[in-house]
Amino acid sequence: MKSLSTTTLANGKQTEILIADNLKDLSAHLGSYGRSVLWVFDANTATLFKQLPPVNVVLESGESSKNFSSLERILSNAVDEGLARDCRIIGFGGGVVCDMAAFAASVFMRGCKLTLVPTTLLCMVDASVGGKTAIDFKGLKNMVGSFYPAEEVLISMDTLRTLPEKEYLNGLAEVIKHALLSQDEQLYKFLLVKKNEILSRDIETLQTLVTLSLAVKQWYIEQDPTETKGIRQVLNLGHTFGHALESSGHFTFGHGACVAWGTCRALEAGVNMGITDKAYAIGATKLFKSYGYDIDYRIGRGDWIEFRERLSKDKKKEKGQVLFVLMESQGKAVLRPIDMALVQHLVIAKPIF
Ligand SMILES: NC(=O)c1ccc[n+]([C@@H]2O[C@H](COP(=O)([O-])OP(=O)(O)OC[C@H]3O[C@@H](n4cnc5c(N)ncnc54)[C@H](O)[C@@H]3O)[C@@H](O)[C@H]2O)c1
């Protein structure tokens, strides 16, 4: 395994990110942890192993597993197996498994060792790094959780071979979002010139893509580890519009498609409000379109009330007003409220560019 980088978060806690050459390399590293280990999989990631390790919990796949009963299963297993505080929990899967494993590790005996092995693109570039852990509660996403960075994040591009296309595109939308938020244009240019290799999941290309994308996330989280300074919040670019669309349920595409759509609505809003450079917004919208996202989608007039309802539940608020992440230009994002009449126009009317 090659050490890619180390991220320092709250209280000086560090996460080392390691990249494996292949699955054999990954297995050898995982094998070096010894016996005091509890593994968390979901039904899909468990099938990546011919034989499961002795102490394991296999969750059902999907968001519905992010709950107290999964947490209880992991903790019960740890107690039944006599694991002590120096044990390690390994989350092997996408964001759901990693969020669950990390939350369990943060509370088992007031905190045990934690390794995450992200197996979705979204989890590699986003969920596994940054220390946020959570479960959904009372129908609200990520309502109960903690900050608990993994000691190690182990990434093997080989795990992406079995990832369904829809899940891959979910992650890719976050990568493009990172390209816009990056302080330099390296990732943006890479996405422009390596489209075919990225879409065909060429392993070497994926290594560069993940490395560049992770560096953007790390840049933001290191400056604002516990999301209290308004810096880390800009990583939510596209999510306010996107979540409203996703949760109002009229869009059959996945989370990534909603983030892509939402980012383009934020770019249009910024142009309209004189905040975003128009040429930049046009270029970024084209980039999303080139990867196949349905950017021109608009909600029906009859769906507006529900969409607005969902928007109003967004957590980023100031004095009761929802704050949107808007781009000024490459790497420069600001948090601003948007007039609801403009939001309505943007999500219903025909595209302006
Ligand atoms: N903690 C954070 O900072 C953070 C950041 C972003 C997202 N998240 C959370 O991450 C979750 C979404 O993560 P996700 O998109 O990875 O979803 P996921 O974990 O549900 O995985 C998506 C699907 O892909 C399957 N899968 C995973 N790896 C596979 C592989 N290699 N081959 C075949 N199938 C595979 C899973 O079983 C699942 O069906 C959400 O709950 C979200 O809240 C957390």
Give the residue extent of every domain in the chain: 2-163, 228-348
- Confidence (pLDDT) at 314: 79
Residue 345 is among the residues annotated as catalytic for this protein: no
Q: Is 170 in the pocket of ligand 1 (CB under 6 A)?
A: yes
Residue 169 has phi, psi (to 5 degrees) of -70, -30
Q: Is 93 in the pocket of ligand 1 (CB under 6 A)?
A: yes
Architecture of domain 2-163 in CATH?
3-Layer(aba) Sandwich (3.40)
Q: What is the pLDDT along the chain (353 residues), one digit of tens a residue?
A: 999 999 998 778 999 999 999 999 999 999 999 889 999 999 999 999 989 999 999 999 999 999 999 999 999 999 999 999 999 999 999 999 999 999 999 999 999 999 999 999 999 999 999 999 999 998 888 999 999 999 999 999 999 999 999 999 999 999 999 999 999 999 999 999 999 999 999 999 999 999 999 999 999 999 998 888 989 999 999 999 999 998 886 556 788 999 999 999 999 999 999 999 999 999 999 999 999 999 999 998 888 999 999 898 877 777 788 999 999 999 999 999 999 999 999 999 877 67
Pairing type for strands 14-19 and 37-42 reads unpaired
Q: How far is the CA of 103 from the centre of ligand 1 (A)?
A: 15
| Cα gap 131→235, rounded to integer Å | 14
What tokens does 171 get? 């992650």
Closest C-alpha to ligand 1, atom 19: 94
Q: What ligand 1 atom has the least distance to the C-alpha of 174?
A: 6
Pick the CATH number of 228-348 from 3.40.109.10, 3.10.129.10, 1.20.1090.10, 2.60.40.1930: 1.20.1090.10
Active-site entry in 66, 88, 236, 246: 236
Active-site entry in 66, 113, 132, 177: 132
DSSP letter string, 39-62: EEEETTGGGG-SS--SSEEEEPSS
What H or E segment, with its residue span, contains residue 322?
A: strand 321-322
Active-site entry in 113, 178, 217, 265: 217
Q: Is 178 in the pocket of ligand 1 (CB under 6 A)?
A: no
- Confidence (pLDDT) at 251: 53
Q: How far is the CA of 318 from the centre of ligand 1 (A)?
A: 30
Active-site entry in 81, 197, 222, 227: 227
Residue 178 is among the residues annotated as catalytic for this protein: no
CA 313 to chain centre: 20
Q: Which residues contact 91 (CB under 8 A, 6 or more apart)?
A: 40, 97, 98, 100, 101, 102, 114, 115, 116, 117, 150
Q: How far is the CA of 127 from the centre of ligand 1 (A)?
A: 8
- Confidence (pLDDT) at 247: 83
Q: Is 65 in the pocket of ligand 1 (CB under 6 A)?
A: no
Residue 217 is among the residues annotated as catalytic for this protein: yes
Q: Is 146 in the pocket of ligand 1 (CB under 6 A)?
A: no
| Cα gap 93→120, rounded to integer Å | 7
- Confidence (pLDDT) at 250: 57
Residues 170 and 120: beta-carbon distance below 8 Å: yes
Give the 3-state secondary structure of 212-227: HHHHHHHHHHHHCCCC
Site to substitute for ligand 1 among 23, 70, 123, 154, most atoms within 8 A of C-beta = 123
Closest C-alpha to ligand 1, atom 41: 96
Residue 29 is among the residues annotated as catalytic for this protein: no
Q: How far is the CA of 251 from the centre of ligand 1 (A)?
A: 19
Closest C-alpha to ligand 1, atom 18: 94
Residue 232 is among the residues annotated as catalytic for this protein: yes
What tokens does 185 get? 């244009």
Residue 243 is among the residues annotated as catalytic for this protein: yes
